[in-house]
Structure 1
Amino acid sequence: MAADGSTVEPIWERYPLIASNSCARRWIQSCVMLGLAKNTIAAYMYAIEGFLRFALSHSVDLRSVSRETIAQYVGELRTQPRRTYANVVRIDSGRFLSNATLQQRLTAVRLLFEFLVDEGLLRTNPVSRGRYTVSSRFGANGTQGLIQKFHKLPWIPTEAQWMALLAVVRNEPMRNRCMLALAYDAALRREELCQLRSSDIDPAHRLLRIRAETTKGHRERVVPYSATSGELLRDYLRHRRSLGGDGPALFLSESPRNYAAPISMWTWSKVVRSIAIRAGVPAFATHTLRHLCLTDLARAGWQLHEIARFAGHQNLETTRQYVHLSGRDLADRFARTMRNIHAWRLDALACVPAPAECQ
């Protein structure tokens, strides 16, 4: 859905198999009409296009897909290399599709078949939840899904990696330094950062209004930013006036092709990727600064509900991972335990010179 509330028509030319399949196309159109985020639609379309390509190569029609077909599809996904490493041949290289990507691809396929069942085109969903492996160890109902989930903590840079990143960032243009500062300071997602407007800034109180239509959960929030970010923002606004952009967007492109146009999420991703490569920290991405900020807040002793409100999380479990990542909960318990053990050991040691007195 566009920022003004209107729907955004998918670019069907990029997904010819979906465009030519009436069932898949109808499902995507229903997702668009329901107002799903543009990135979500794009992820669904990429996943379904891949599944239709698999079905075509196996001469299988959507209405004749069986559980065995889905198992074959999952098997092929597990051996599919990431696009960055298309020439990988070793399965133990760690460069195949991540667990999260596998889950995302399968979720899109499952939702497509749920749509077909609801429409009366199929009797059952071949990608049903947890009907393949029965065991008391898995899930509340004793079943395990097609792909086992691994819950990994977000990646954040070490101090050495952070210093390497800073060395590169110091030489970045004013706009990039300002965007990086706000991304960390206010824990902004890529979409929230790139779609900021000049009217979203309250410089008198150093506050940012994150509009609902730009957020993942469609919930508006107001977050503070520091005096340091305020100085960078002031300098950038002065520079922005020289670009001649008269639109509402805060951050503008300075490339000759899109001069003074609002910066796109893809352009920003390329900027951050370039910084990561030059710093020798390839894992650094647009979302890393958000992860780092929330982890630092947990380290500083913020309560769970405070971090959740700051981040715009609807589910506290999403927030809890940053507390775990900071090690604060374990560190506090460890400190309390060690104090007791420490006191006991000291008492015991004090009794060594005169054991009779300690009886």
Structure 2
Amino acid sequence: MARALGEFERHIAVERDLTVHTVRAYLGDLSSLLEHLTRLGGQDVTDLDLRALRSWLAKQQTTGRARTTIARRATAARVFTAWLHRTGRLPVDVGARLASPKSHRTLPSVLRQDEALALVESASAAAAEDGPIGVRDAAILELMYATGIRVGELCGLDIDDVDFERNVVRVLGKGRKERTVPFGLPAAAALRRWLDHGRADLRREGVGAALFVGARGGRIDQRVVRQVVHARVSAVPGAPDIAPHGLRHTAATHLLEGGADLRTVQELLGHASMATTQVYTHISNERLRSAYQQAHPRA
């Protein structure tokens, strides 16, 4: 079992080039599955069958696991058994018939347009007092709100990824898929200020071409970006406490509210499936319904 799991790890990390976080999640889920199989008396992956898979998921439910967690673990099991079958370790793909509960999709918190404007404007105003760190933070917030890129994509950006002539940024997304995302004049101005008046004061030798750097001069860490977003958003009166992914949700929602079509938003965000993008239409509808209920005397 350990050997099969190790070879599967190499498959998803090297051949499929999944992120470190995704690989870790797969291994955690599958280790739990194989431990359960062992308790059932299994001695090898060839002992995996549909009954064992269903028993494992049922145990997750009885221990109070969330529906989203169970659904994710079922997906991991199906990917694993498909690989086992494809590589000749299982005669049939026993996970092909494994069902999983539909996860209740909670709508993410997003900023209103006035709150998003207050966020970037307050960060820009504070940049003069906060020095290079403030200039960097303002550029980060402007770029994230302008493009809706993921925090990992932001931290991986190099200077050459920014094209000021066309006002676009080249992003390396999930699965090493590259896409080009436009940004507006405010983000361009904030990036210029960072590159001309902030980055050189923070960067250290050997950092390379990293677009954003931390206080110690190395490529900025995702945790630092999360701290920046939480701190800046908390200063906006009435704004919900959101993480960097909340800025991504905010950007997508405001694009749709401004008239962008779903297909365009899907390409900008780098979603593999339109179904993922469609959640933002629900956000817009919920906001419209909420505003109606608050404002209309006969709501």
The TM-score, its normalising length taken from structure 1, stands at 0.64
Counterpart for residue 127 of structure 1? 95
Letter in 2 for 1:327: N
Q: In structure 2, how many angstroms separate the alpha carbons of the residues matched to 1:317 and 1:101?
A: 19
CA-to-partner distance for each residue in 1:176-220, whole Å, 9 max, x for gaps?
A: 33212211111101222111111111234432222xxx2125443
| Structure-to-structure mapping, 1:1-359, within 5 angstroms | 21-38=2-19, 39-61=21-43, 62-80=45-63, 96-97=65-66, 99-130=67-98, 145=99, 147-150=100-103, 152=105, 154-157=107-110, 159=112, 162=115, 166=119, 170=123, 173-174=133-134, 175-210=136-171, 214-216=172-174, 218-237=176-195, 238-245=197-204, 246-254=207-215, 259-269=216-226, 271-272=228-229, 284-327=242-285
Shift of 1:110: 1.9
Deviation track 1:128-179 (CA, whole Å, cap 9, x = no partner) reads 335xxxxxxxxxxxxxx2x22136264133549958x949x74684223321
Change (3 A) 1:180 1:58: farther
Q: Deviations over 1:8-65 (max 9, x none)?
A: xxxxxxxxxxxx7111111111223313222332221222223234344555333323
Q: Structure 1 127/325 Cα, relative in aligned 2: closer, same or farther at 3 Å?
A: same
Q: Where do 5+ consecutive residues of structure 2 fail to align?
A: 293-299
Aligned alpha-carbon RMSD (Å):
3.6
How far did 1:113 drift? 1.9
SS in 2 for 1:228: helix
Q: Which amino acid aligns with 1:108?
A: A
CA apart distance, 1:75: 2.2
Deviation above 6 Å: which 4+ runs of structure 1? 274-283
Count of residues in Structure 1 that have an aligned counterpart in Structure 2: 274
Over 3 Å counting, the alpha-carbon distance change for 1:273 and 1:105 in structure 2 is farther
Larger Rg: 1
For the 8 Å contact 1:198–1:248, the answer to whether it is kept is yes
1:242 aligns to what SS in structure 2?
helix
Cα deviation for residue 290 of structure 1 reads 1.2
Q: Residues of 2 paired with 1:323 and 1:121: CA distance?
A: 43
Could you tell me how far 1:100 is from its partner in structure 2?
Answer: 3.1
**Preserved contact between residue 251 and residue 263 of structure 1 (Cα < 8 Å):** yes
- CA 274–74 in structure 1, closer or farther in 2 if over 3 Å, else same: farther
* More helix, by proportion: 2
Deviation (angstroms), 1:298: 0.7
Indicate the larger mover: 106-115 or 187-196: 106-115
SS in structure 2 at match of 1:32: helix
One-letter amino acid of the structure 2 residue matched with residue 150 of structure 1: S
C-alpha displacement of 1:104: 1.8
User: How many angstroms apart in 1 are the aligned matches of 2:97 and 2:234?
Assistant: 40
Structure 2 CA distance for partners of 1:229 and 1:161, relative to 1, 3 Å: closer
Q: Which amino acid aligns with 1:201?
A: V
1: distance between equivalents of 2:239 and 2:73? 27
Note if contact 2:229-2:244 (Cα within 8 Å) is conserved in structure 1. yes
Q: TM-score scaled by structure 2?
A: 0.76
Q: Report the identity percentage.
A: 24
CA 1:235–1:58: 2 relative to 1, 3 Å: farther
How far the C-alpha of 1:262 sits from its partner, in A, is: 1.1
Partner SS for 2:193: helix
* Deviation of the 1:310 alpha carbon: 2.4
